[in-house]
Structure 1
Amino acid sequence: MGKIKVAVFGCGAIAQRRHIPEYADNANVELVAFADPILERAQEMAATYGGTSYASYEELLKNEKVDAVSVCTPNYLHAPMAIAAANAGAHVLVEKPMATTAEEGEQMIEAAKRNGVFLMVGHNQRLMPPHVKAKELLDSGLLGKVLTFRTSFGHPGPEAWSVDGRESWFFRKEEAIMGAMGDLGVHKSDFIRYLLSDEVAEVAGFIGTIDKKDTDVDDNATCIVRMKSGAIGTLVASWTQYKGGDNSTVLWCEKGVMKIGTVEGDEVIIELTDGTSETFKVGAMATNEKQVPSGVIDAFVESIITNTPPTISGEEGLLSLKVILAAFESQATGSIVKL
């Protein structure tokens, strides 16, 4: 086959810093079109990478025959755009959270199936070298069963990350639907499901807007989760870690402890109850300040070329989203929600 013709919907921070440059670096891809309601942004990308710019994704799909689409837009647009792209016969890579409701997620999965295309969700935490290594070690049985854990993702908030700063859609409830939980929490629900090869059975969520002004979206969440295996842990998402942001996970197991991303430079540390310990320097995790290749684009392209369904599928994305939605339900009702 020739090069995969790719279009990008939404030319904000995640598109500019990850999707577009990573497509451009992939020899199997030709970037053919960009859509953004702020047309100058799409034009700028087209000027840099080649291709045509559009102010609307509908126009783009009407005029271009594309093989694949990246959806890098505010959360509320993920479902309609992904479904439109699938209906146009394109494979879809959608940013997280894949959708804002479980129904939307199901409709997206259905649209991809109906059109015989792949749907992949950009849960890049699974692909980061420390996380790949941690899973390999855990699966080897070295640490025995996971008993308790904590997993956390926090930074100072989207104002430093988004191309619109404090004016970003991230802070507008009608476009974002959810804040830190949709931005960061869903990464961690996905990661813990993947790492433990386990599903969340119950969740209790404490979610609120603690410090960000003039916004209704959550800036912090602490959740308690019980896995099907019985393991209990906490999941934290925060936009107010103004100093010392966190993207770490610690697992306390039968035979020792595993620390992931707790020490700069020592990405995975295992300390066993027999007194031995080992450190794995396997390469850093991506941060907003330091972009390392996410691996998501290459995995998506590989799926298309080899005609192999993506491992980070729509179904996986939906299971991870449901954990976050359950945490919101718990916050709203004051009860523990069973999944």
Structure 2
Amino acid sequence: MTPTRIAIAGAGTIGQVHMAVAQRSPSCTLSALVDPSPAAVAVAKAANVPLFASLEDLLAADRPDGVLLATPNHLHVPQALQCIEAGLPILLEKPMATTVAQGEQLLEVVKATGARVLIGHHRAHSPIMRKAKEVVDSGQLGQLVAVMGSATFFKPDTYFDSAPWRREPGAGPILINMIHEVHNLRMLCGDIVAVQAFASHATRGFAVEDTVAINLRFASGVLGTFMLSDTAACPRSWEQTSQENKAYASYDDEDCYVISGTNGSLSVPTMRLKTYPRPEDRSWWKAFEVGVVGMVRDDPLKHQLEHFGAVIRGEAEPLVSAFDGLQNLRVTEAIADAAKSGQTIHLGQLGSEHVATRVV
């Protein structure tokens, strides 16, 4: 099979990770890099691919089979629209837009054109998440009651110095990091219909938050709590527990989600399972049956790229569609709104005509 040629726009941190994954792919190949920055020259040279300063230059010189957009958030929608107009399938890094209004604009174009668009919520391709969802769907936990989650980690100063836009509105851990968590939580517990939040930027003092405490209500009746911080020196985050990205130190005894039901609980990603053997045994005075769910660990970015190749070739529909990406953005925007307003934001059942409402 002729390798599927993928160009990557954006030579930043995540763009270079995608480049490395593409270079190891059995079915795809990295055809070009798009980035106007002087630093991209060395990145393209090391990857032995041509460098273009803009998508216009790329399309004029060397049309790929698909484009992976790993550029700053504010460029996602205009660049996605540019690729759609050119008839190119795209893998668009999350968030799909910086605002829900922009995301809705993009979704309308996707629906009108039938464009092949995969949103880069890569944990949807995680074998760990797939196994956790299997456990939840199996009913072993009983009726779901609650979920506790965290994404607490310390981003060094260099993370912000290398990309100053990360200090400004349109960035921040709610939009950059929490949107991943929203997708995971929706995979496990269903749609989120209301949020509350407190946010602080007391530690870093940037224009965006650095720490957020969040309450969640799911359509199923499940309630959730979530602690988010990019300035907390704590390893209870997906990156520091899942072992999927070897660039991060990992801790075998830490989890970032605990899903609880009427018959037991599952801790993720250690996959520690505690359940009662019989309904009549359910009591806090009685012991759980304790075990670990068997699963494999593998790089979800690898699986995501192979899936994107299949989407480009017309062999698969996007696992995370533009509509799904918009739902995640709606929840994250509601969290930001709740933190700013001090009010509960009710989203209702998520759908194409969604409107969030505030309630004191």
TM-score for the superposition, normalised by structure 2: 0.83
Does residue 1:279 correspond to 2:292, yes or no? yes
The answer for the alignment partner of 1:338 in structure 2 is 346
- Given the superposition, is the C-alpha separation of residues 323 and 282 from structure 1 closer, same or farther in structure 2, using an over 3 Å criterion? same
- Given the superposition, is the C-alpha separation of residues 199 and 158 from structure 1 closer, same or farther in structure 2, using an over 3 Å criterion? farther
Contact 1:149 1:251 in 2 (8 A): yes
Letter in 1 for 2:173: A
- Given the superposition, is the C-alpha separation of residues 51 and 44 from structure 1 closer, same or farther in structure 2, using an over 3 Å criterion? same
Give aligned pairs, total: 320
- Determine helix, strand or coil for the equivalent of 2:313: helix
Determine the C-alpha separation between the residues in 2 that align with 1:106 and 1:170: 23
The answer for the alignment partner of 1:206 in structure 2 is 198
The answer for the alignment partner of 1:264 in structure 2 is none
What does 1:53-202 align with in structure 2 at a 5 Å threshold? 53-157=51-155, 159=157, 162=159, 166-174=161-169, 177-196=170-189, 198-202=190-194
Letter in 1 for 2:323: E
Determine the C-alpha separation between the residues in 2 that align with 1:166 and 1:49: 24
The answer for the alignment partner of 2:15 in structure 1 is 15
Contact 1:39 1:55 in 2 (8 A): no
- Determine helix, strand or coil for the equivalent of 1:223: strand
- Determine helix, strand or coil for the equivalent of 1:307: coil
Letter in 2 for 1:54: F
The alpha carbon displacement at 1:334 in A equals 1.5
Letter in 1 for 2:28: V
Does residue 1:30 correspond to 2:23, yes or no? no
Letter in 2 for 1:242: A
Identify unmatched segments of 5+ residues in structure 1: 262-266, 287-291
The answer for the alignment partner of 2:230 in structure 1 is 239
Determine the C-alpha separation between the residues in 2 that align with 1:30 and 1:284: 24
Contact 1:89 1:115 in 2 (8 A): no
Determine the C-alpha separation between the residues in 1 that align with 2:111 and 2:325: 15
Determine the C-alpha separation between the residues in 1 that align with 2:65 and 2:106: 17
Letter in 2 for 1:78: H
Does residue 1:268 correspond to 2:271, yes or no? yes
The answer for the alignment partner of 1:316 in structure 2 is 324
The alpha carbon displacement at 1:283 in A equals 4.1
Deviations 1:159-182 (A, max 9, x none): 46x4xx5342353315xx130111
Determine the C-alpha separation between the residues in 2 that align with 1:244 and 1:26: 30
Determine the C-alpha separation between the residues in 2 that align with 1:168 and 1:158: 12
- Given the superposition, is the C-alpha separation of residues 239 and 76 from structure 1 closer, same or farther in structure 2, using an over 3 Å criterion? same
Contact 2:141 2:275 in 1 (8 A): yes
- Given the superposition, is the C-alpha separation of residues 112 and 159 from structure 1 closer, same or farther in structure 2, using an over 3 Å criterion? farther
Moved more, 55-64 or 310-319: 55-64
The alpha carbon displacement at 1:306 in A equals 4.2
- Determine helix, strand or coil for the equivalent of 2:25: coil
Contact 1:79 1:105 in 2 (8 A): yes
The alpha carbon displacement at 1:4 in A equals 2.0
Determine the C-alpha separation between the residues in 2 that align with 1:179 and 1:78: 16
The alpha carbon displacement at 1:128 in A equals 2.1
Contact 1:158 1:166 in 2 (8 A): no
Identity %: 27
Q: CA RMSD in A?
A: 2.1
TM-score for the superposition, normalised by structure 1: 0.87
Contact 2:125 2:301 in 1 (8 A): no
The answer for the alignment partner of 1:298 in structure 2 is 306
Identify unmatched segments of 5+ residues in structure 2: 239-255, 278-287, 348-360
The answer for the alignment partner of 1:289 in structure 2 is none
The alpha carbon displacement at 1:65 in A equals 1.3
Determine the C-alpha separation between the residues in 2 that align with 1:210 and 1:128: 34
Contact 1:67 1:89 in 2 (8 A): no
